[in-house]
Structures are given as structure tokens and as C-alpha cells.
Amino acid sequence: MKRILLTGGAGFIGSTLAEKLLSKGNYVTVIDNFSDFYDPYIKEKNIIPLLKFSNFKLHRFDIIDKEALFQNIDKHDVIVHIAAKAGVRPSILDPIGYEEVNVKGTINLLEFAKHHGIKQFVFASSSSVYGTNPNVPWVENSQIDHIISPYAGTKRSAEIQGKIYSHLHDIRFIALRLFTVFGPKQRPDLAIHKFTKLILRDKPITLYGKGNTIRDYTYVDDIVNAFINAINFTKSDFEIINIGNNKPISLIELVKLLENTFDRKPKIIFEKEQPGDVPKTYADINKAKKLLGYEPQTSIKDGLEKFKKWVLENQEIIYEK
């Protein structure tokens, strides 16, 4: 059993991970500010299954509040840092806000780890750091000079800070570069959730460009398993590891899969490409296989069926919220 400090634990990935960790007997402390980036009702709903565990504790504050962090949280065995201001396009409108939360917030947690002698730090990075790199599938040692959004820049900056603290303060820093996570509880601003909501409401969906952008959609349970293995990783002191599905598909293909899954014909509007969006994401996962024993188990088709089941069980999220 480990004492795990989990930031962003009321969100999509965080709450899914928290439930898995708690069910294995770990003590989990969640920090989440219940941001209104999307309806906080969804996060409140995500927390409900966690409340049944006696080994769960919730704190409601922002990771940029260093005083609240040091006053309210004691030493843990591991920090899993998922909390962030999310989204490529919103970061273009608010680069300073993204820098504040995603970089300063990460440094606050690294300072907390240093102060308490916490040696294991697992960080949720993003495939967006590869930007427009044309050499796919992307390998972790690729040169990172193709970044095209403030969001991606903040994730890369946080990785660099992790490298510095690992070197100076003997903190094992494992950065997982996540590739387009989907599944039950997915954030409503992400394509699969957003498109599903519009299709079920018989409203048109907007595809930017010609719908030819390609994404490496990765099921949330595969992501969670990677986090759990990273929590227990001890073979080196600093690693950056891709966590993807290694089977990318186009946006048009995704829409077709949603049509088949929900048996609804979508209405499609095409608009010009959006700034900050990368044309393709595609993970080389050989390093994850070698270091974490990672092997994605859920295909996009099977994952969409599981997402559909969640949608049908939580229709108020689709139709009312």
C-alpha cells in the first residue's frame, strides 16, 4: 500500500486512476480546484464513487496556491500530477494563465516533493509537445522544436523542470506523454464526447480542415495502467515515455465509427483549420513496453462501445448539462 498524492483527481483521467488505486488498497489524497473550464457538476459526479473508500481524502484548492499545499498536505510516498489547464486552442487566448498553472503549479509540487523527501513523481505530459514533427511515429528522443501552442510549451517546460529537480534533488521524475485519451467520463470539450453530444441532439458537428487530421486515440484504462506501472517504476531517475495506442485514425474515420456505434447519421460542417492544431499524432510505444510493460488492450471500436454504455447511463450529462 502506498500513500499517493494525486492532483486533478476529480477529472476524467484522475478520477478513473483514483478509483483503481483505492480499490488496490492505496491511500489516495486528491487535490482538485473543480475549475469551471467545463461544468464542475461533472467532476462532482466523478468524485461520488471515491467517497465510499475510507482511504480517500479530498482537498479543494488550486496547485498554484503554494501556501495551501504546504499547510494542508503532509508527506506521501508518491506524487501523481495530472492537474493542468487543458486544451490547445484555449491556451492561445490565455498563455499567461496556462504558464501560471501548468509550469508554476508543477514547480510548487516539485518544491513540495523536495521539502518532504518524496522520491517518486509521475507527471502527465502530452503528445502535443511533438507539435508538427513530420517524423512519425514519434519517439521520445525526437528533437522537440516543432511546438505550436502555449499549452504544449507549458507541458515541455514542466518536463524540463522535472529533469532539473531530478538532477538536483534526487527525485525520480517520470513524464508520461499521453496521446488523445478517451473513454467513460471523457471531458466534454474533447472530440468524441463533443461529437456524441451533437449527434444525439441531431445537431451538426464541425470538422476543421477536411477531417484528415489523425489522432492516436488511447483508451483511459490503458492510460491508468501505465500510471500505475509508472508509480512502481524504479529502474532510473528520469524518463519521458509515450503512452498511446499506436493505431492512429483520421477524424473522418472517427466520425464514421461514432455513426456506427450510436446508429445515428451525423450532420457535418467543414471549417478552415484551427491555429495550434497538429495534423497528426502517432506514438511509438516501444519504450513504454520495455520500461513499463505497457500494452494497450482496448481498440478504438471497443472503447467507443464502452463509452456508449457510459453515455446511456449518464444521459443527463449529454442532454441537460
Rounded Cα distance between 122 and 319, Å, is 36
63 DSSP assignment: T
Rounded Cα distance between 275 and 285, Å, is 28
Which grid cell sits at 131? 507539435
Rounded Cα distance between 165 and 120, Å, is 11
Cβ atoms of 77 and 26 closer than 8 Å: no
- Among residues 98, 151, 282, 294, the one annotated as catalytic is 151
Annotated catalytic, 151?
yes
What is the residue type of 38?
Answer: Y
Query: How far from chain centre, in Å, is Cα 69?
Result: 22
Rounded Cα distance between 40 and 61, Å, is 14
- Helical (H) or strand (E) element with 315: helix 315-319
Rounded Cα distance between 156 and 153, Å, is 5
Dihedral, CA of residue 291, residue 293, residue 295 and residue 297, to nearest 10 = -140
Which grid cell sits at 303? 472503447
DSSP for 267-281, written as a single string: PEEEEPPPTT--SB-
**Residues noted as catalytic:** 151
